Amino acid sequence: METLLVKASDEQLVKAAEYLADGEVVAVPTETVYGLAANAFETDAVRKIFAAKGRPQDNPLILHIGNLDMLYSITDEVSELALKLAADFWPGPLTMIFSRKDSVPSETCGGLDTAAVRMPDNDFTRRLIEKCGFPLAAPSANTSGLPSPTSADHVFSDMNGKIPMIVDGGECSCGVESTVICFDNGKIRVLRPGAVTPEMLCEYAEVIVDNGVLKQLSADEKVMSPGMKYKHYSPDADVFIVKGTNEQFACYINSLDESEKKAVLWDGTDFSDSVTVLPYGKTSAEQAENLFSSLRKADELGCDKVYVKMPDTSGIGLAVYNRLLRAAGFRIIEL
């Protein structure tokens, strides 16, 4: 199949809507990462998403809505708390889990009786959803297991030949996927951290950060969100999180075998020629924005190893750390 890579425009919006109405898959920009979108209400269209990504069938998709009315086509149980959060954080990087109506195909939700919903903060994509008139099911537009795509080029490298159209809306400003929450007896349970942080959410209700966020779950452990149990965000290179001061970090990197092709993600100075320093950033927001594209860059450069300075874990830093732990297979080097 030929894959069109086009810039977001009114003309391309019409074309994308036609593909989606025909049950095809189109990659679209959002503020977090690019999404691989199809009609959430059509089982055959949704199956094409799973096929293009190579995604396990039991890992549910997020339904993207263009306005609040659309939420009621997915669920008829919306609490006061959920409405308050929607008013304050939508459009934006917050995904909420609701009970789902029978009209939502089970395939979209990985066989669960709940549906994850968010309203993306991207004008093109929201207008596209409104034009379609149905919610778009959209996981991140990467091949399953690889780092999520934060540019249309990343999507093209994973999806060329597999889907008919990729809409380029520029680089994603957030860089990590949305915060996923569910409601637990009036409390908010964070299943995946993102730019809407626990610190922000605790203004609304008691917040529990689920065990799966920072812990490696054993095979028999019950997971609240199926995405938690899969290998994720991993480039081909081996990733290591390195904990220590900047001096210790520099010293450690300099002590490594020179023949090993390595990259580092940190905000310090350059090393000798044998080490590639990739963009990371000083603030957690910058690190979130750069993380996935730097991990992809390490593979493009043919690096065998990537060493990442342990991030600060407050605010959006928790999301950076959560993604890094998975990219690194939970390997931490303590100096």
Interacting residues with ligand TXA (CB under 6 A): 30, 32-33, 35, 59-62, 93, 95, 97, 109, 112, 114-116, 120, 138-140, 177-178, 180, 191-192, 225-227
Would you state the structure tokens that stand for residue 49, as one six-digit string? 């998403």
In terms of phi and psi (left: phi > 0; alpha: psi -120 to 50; beta: otherwise), the region of 10 is alpha
Kind and range of the H or E run holding 115: strand 114-118
Which residues are registered as beta bridge partners of 190? 181, 209
225 binds Mg ion (CB under 5 A): no
Task: Identify what 97 binds: ligand TXA, Mg ion, none; CB under 5 to 8 Å per kind.
Answer: ligand TXA
| Residue 15, H or E segment | helix 10-21
> For residue 87, with 0-12 CB atoms within 10 Å meaning exposed, 13-18 middle and 19 or more buried, which class applies?
exposed
Q: Which does 31 bind (CB under 5 to 8 A by kind): Mg ion, ligand TXA, none?
A: none
* For ligand TXA, the closer CB: 17 or 275: 17
Task: Name which of Mg ion, ligand TXA, none residue 62 binds, using a CB cut-off of 5 to 8 Å depending on partner kind.
Answer: ligand TXA
How crowded is residue 143: how many other Cβ atoms within 10 Å of its Cβ? Answer: 16
Q: Is 140 in the site for Mg ion (CB under 5 A)?
A: yes
Alpha helices in 97-145 (DSSP H): 123-132
Q: Which does residue 106 touch among ligand TXA, Mg ion, none (CB within 5 to 8 A, set by kind)? A: none
With CB under 5 to 8 Å by kind, the binding choice for 61 among ligand TXA, Mg ion, none is: ligand TXA
Query: Residue 95 or residue 287: which is nearer to ligand TXA going by CB?
Result: 95
* 322: partner contacted, choices ligand TXA, Mg ion, none (Cβ within 5-8 A by kind): none
Shortest spacing between CB 34 and ligand TXA, in angstroms: 7
Nearer to Mg ion, 140 or 294 (CB): 140
For the record, the structure tokens of 239 come out as 């990733």
Alpha-carbon span 136 to 191, nearest angstrom: 21
Q: Which is nearer to ligand TXA, 226 or 244 (CB)?
A: 226
Torsion over CA of 209, 239, 153 and 278, rounded to 10 degrees?
Answer: 100
Closer residue to ligand TXA, CB minimum distance, 27 or 241: 27
CA torsion sign for 70, 75, 80, 81 is negative
CB of 115 to ligand TXA, least distance (A): 6
Query: Cis peptide leading into 193, omega within 30 of 0?
Result: no
Taking the least distance from each CB to ligand TXA, the nearer of 191 and 239 is: 191
Determine the 3-state secondary structure of 243 from DSSP: strand
Please report how close the Cβ of residue 213 comes to ligand TXA at its closest, in angstroms.
11
Nearest Cα residue to 107 out of 27, 182, 50, 26: 50
Q: Which does 95 bind (CB under 5 to 8 A by kind): ligand TXA, Mg ion, none?
A: ligand TXA
Minimum distance of Mg ion from residue 151's CB (angstroms): 16
Q: Toward ligand TXA, which CB reaches closer, 23 or 226?
A: 226
* DSSP conformational letter for 146: S
State both tokens at 48.
């094409």
Residue number, nearest CB to ligand TXA: 227
Q: How far apart are CA 287 and CA 251, in angstroms?
A: 22
Q: Which listed option, Mg ion, ligand TXA, none, makes contact with residue 164 (CB within 5 to 8 Å by class)? A: none
CB-nearer residue toward ligand TXA: 5 or 333: 5
If one asks whether residue 122 binds Mg ion (CB under 5 A), the answer comes out as no
| Nearest one of 172, 174, 198 to 287, comparing CA atoms | 174
Binding residues for Mg ion, rule: CB under 5 A, are 140
